[in-house]
Amino acid sequence: MARVTASTRKEQASLDVRTLHPEKLTPEDYISLKAARREISGFLYYWSPPSHITPLAGEVRFRQTASSDPSSFAQGKGYHLRLGMPWSIPLFKISFVEGSRPWRDVLLRDGLVSVETMKSAQHKRRQWTKLHRVVHSLYQPFVISLSQHKHIFNFLGWQGLHQCTFWNLCNAKGAFYRHWAQPFIASERPGIIVSCFEPSQLPKHAGTRTIIMRILEVAPIDYRTRSGRSRCIPLPTEGELLPTFVYWPVEGTPEYDGTKTDMDRPKEDWWAPWSVNVDQTYYMGDMRVLFESQDPLGLPKKDMWMLHLAR
pLDDT at 4: 40
Residues 186, 238 within the same domain = yes
Last residue of a domain, one of 127, 155, 187: 127
CA 37 to chain centre: 25
Q: What is the DSSP letter of 177?
A: G
Identify whether residues 179 and 199 lie together within a single domain: yes
d(CA 230, CA 271): 10
Q: Are residues 18 and 57 in the same domain?
A: yes
**182 and 221, same domain (yes or no):** yes
**Whether residue 120 sits in one domain with residue 157:** no
Give the range of the structural domain holding residue 50, as residue numbers without chain letter: 2-127
Could you give the CA distance from residue 72 to residue 169 in angstroms, rounded to a whole number?
Answer: 42
The answer to whether the beta carbons of residues 183 and 225 sit under 8 Å apart is yes
pLDDT of 50 over the 60 cut:
yes
Considering only the C-alpha atoms of the chain, give the largest distance between any 2 of them, rounded to a whole number of Å.
75
pLDDT of residue 35: 79
pLDDT in tens, 130-182: 667 889 999 999 998 877 778 889 899 887 788 888 887 876 554 445 555 55
Same domain flag for 114 and 153 = no
Q: Give the whole-number percent of the chain exceeding pLDDT 70.
A: 69
One domain for residues 154 and 300:
yes
pLDDT of 249 strictly over 90: no
Looking at the chain, the number of H-run helices and the number of E-run strands are 4, 16
Are 99 and 182 part of one and the same domain? no
The pLDDT assigned to 266 comes to 63
Count of positions (residues) in the chain: 311
Question: 294 versus 124: which is more confidently predicted?
Answer: 124
For residues 258 and 157, state if they share a domain.
yes
Residues near 261 by beta carbon (within 8 Å), at least 6 away in sequence: 248, 250, 251
User: Does residue 108 sit in the same domain as residue 157?
Assistant: no
Distances (CA, A) of 53 to 128, 188, 209, 269, 291: 21, 38, 19, 38, 10
| Domain boundary, last residue among 83, 107, 127 | 127
> Which residue, of 70, 95, 127, is where some domain finishes?
127
